[in-house]
């Protein structure tokens, strides 16, 4: 008899207090319950940031000349490569600015070189410039390049499935533009000193693994398209040209190369976010946002 009476009294008191509850009170109770649950599972961590605002990185990898792209309407081939291209070492230094968990910008400096031996089984024939010099086919080439690029980098995990995004890894894309400075080692067509910088486009993607709050490992590949006809040391002449004057050169020629890499970044600073999370068992997260408005009781 006593226990039912106590339960009835408690229910009566709760019903009497119900009108006085506000949205903020409910939120506070909800937070306390979540925090208690997380503490029981394991020691919780409450964080008010979502990542490092700046990252500095270095990566090592390789580069390889891919092909020449000829968009001219009278071109016998739109894409071609005379060479058995080599993979050469490449080193990249980068500075990354994280604007949010979803988007960042990256400035990178890449230094590498391209080389290759003549592919006698290619179906493109021997370049006219080599025939004019009385060569059966061009000899090996070696060219160097310093590549500068500014790229926009979206985090695919946070964009496609932000609620289920892992705390340990994510996929990213890269797209941007820059300038490439060409350095000659040896080639069929010598460069002039006025070669200078060439406009370039960059795009690619990769995988990032978060080791600690400050350190990430990255694995990816970037493709570059350079507004130049000299990465492989051979210029492209118009068909049936009569001389080697500038009038016989094709215009709008571009050449591409690839850069697979593995790197490490170190983060500093924090991106302040309104999102908070509590770490629970098995690295699970419970996300919520604090109330934006105050409600009167």
- Condensed to tens digits (0 to 9), the pLDDT of residues 117-132 reads 999 888 888 887 777 7
pLDDT at position 247, please? Answer: 57
Instruction: List pLDDT tens digits, range 254-293.
Output: 999 999 999 999 999 887 554 444 444 444 444 444 444 4
What domains, with CATH codes, occur in the chain?
A: 51-271 (2.40.160.20)
Tell me the helix, strand and coil percentages in the chain, rounded to 5: 20, 45, 35
CA distance 113 to 90: 8
pTM: predicted TM-score of the whole model, two decimal places: 0.72
- The closest of 238, 259, 255 to 247, measured between CA atoms, is 238
Q: Is the pLDDT of residue 28 over 50?
A: no
pLDDT computed for residue 51 by the predictor? 78
Which pLDDT belongs to residue 183? 84
Q: Which of 15, 64, 106, 59 is nearest to 256 (CA)?
A: 64
Reported as a single tens digit per residue, the pLDDT across 46-80 is: 343 457 899 999 999 999 999 999 988 888 889 99
Give the highest mean pLDDT range of 7-11, 211-215, 227-231, 291-295: 211-215
Q: Over 70: is that where the pLDDT of 207 sits?
A: yes
Q: What is the pLDDT confidence band of residue 248, given thresholds at 50, 70 and 90?
A: low
Distances (CA, A) of 172 to 88, 104, 105, 158, 262: 25, 10, 12, 10, 14
Residue 162 tokens, joined: 């932000």
Q: Is the pLDDT of residue 297 over 50?
A: no
């Amino acid at each position: 008899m006593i226990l039912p009476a106590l339960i009835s009294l408690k229910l009566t008191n709760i019903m009497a207090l119900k009108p006085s509850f506000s949205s903020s009170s409910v939120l506070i109770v909800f937070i306390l319950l979540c925090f208690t649950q997380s503490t029981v599972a394991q020691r919780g961590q409450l964080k008010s940031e979502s990542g490092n605002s700046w990252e500095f990185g270095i990566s090592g990898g390789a580069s390889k000349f891919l092909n020449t792209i000829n968009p001219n309407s009278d071109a016998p081939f739109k894409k071609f490569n005379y060479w058995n291209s080599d993979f050469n070492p490449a080193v990249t230094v980068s500075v990354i600015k994280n604007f949010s968990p979803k988007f960042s910008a990256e400035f990178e400096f890449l230094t590498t070189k391209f080389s290759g031996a003549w592919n006698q089984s290619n179906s493109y024939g021997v370049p006219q410039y080599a025939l004019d010099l009385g060569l059966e086919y061009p000899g090996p080439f070696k060219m160097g390049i310093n590549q500068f690029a500014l790229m926009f980098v979206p985090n695919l995990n946070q964009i496609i499935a932000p609620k289920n995004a892992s705390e340990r890894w994510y996929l990213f894309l890269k797209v941007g533009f820059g300038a490439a400075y060409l350095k000659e080692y040896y080639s069929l067509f010598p460069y002039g000193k006025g070669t200078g910088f060439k406009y370039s486009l960059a795009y690619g993607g990769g995988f990032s693994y978060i080791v600690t709050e400050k350190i990430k490992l990255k694995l990816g590949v970037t493709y570059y398209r350079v507004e130049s006809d000299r990465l492989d040391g051979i210029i492209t002449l118009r068909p049936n040209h009569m001389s080697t004057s500038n009038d016989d050169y094709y215009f709008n020629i571009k050449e591409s190369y690839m850069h697979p890499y593995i790197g490490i970044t170190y983060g500093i600073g924090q991106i302040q976010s309104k999102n908070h999370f509590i770490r629970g068992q098995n690295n699970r997260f419970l996300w919520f946002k604090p109330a934006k408005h105050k409600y009167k009781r």
